[in-house]
Amino acid sequence: MDQADETGATAVATVKKKDLYDLVVTETGLKKKDAKAVIDATIKVIRDAVDAEKAVIIPPLGKIFPKRVNEGTDQAKTVYKLKLKNTGGAQNQADG
């Protein structure tokens, strides 16, 4: 649940890696060590693809893709966007 802090900014609930392990164990019935191995390998494969500036498409989540910003300047960099799959509502996009 999102909550506002003293400045009025909204704090977003976070799912950390440990939480992900527990959620997958609950969802699948896998042993925690097996779920951990699968999640860690999945994260590594996704990270390797992102490091190689490849788009990663994971239905039904969406697409993670590189986007160059400030091209041709000394502040050029690659940012990653997560374009969430449209699930009946408007298309969502998050910077990463």
DSSP conformational letter for 36: H
User: Looking at residue 34, what is its pLDDT?
Assistant: 97
Q: Does position 91 have pLDDT exceeding 50, yes or no?
A: no
Residue 48 to residue 41: CA distance in whole angstroms: 10
The pTM of the whole model exceeds 0.75: no
The gap from C-alpha 95 to its chain's centroid, in whole angstroms, comes to 10
Contacts of residue 11, Cβ cutoff 8 Å, sequence gap at least 6: 2, 3, 4, 5
Say whether pLDDT at 1 is over 80. Answer: no
Average pLDDT of the segment spanning 54-74: 88
Give the mean model confidence (pLDDT) for residues 54-80. Answer: 87
The CATH number given to 9-52 is: 4.10.520.10
Q: In the chain, where are the structural domains located?
A: 9-52, 54-96
The confidence score (pLDDT) of residue 18 equals 96
Question: What's the chain's average pLDDT?
Answer: 84
Is residue 46 within 8 A of residue 62, CB to CB? The reply is no
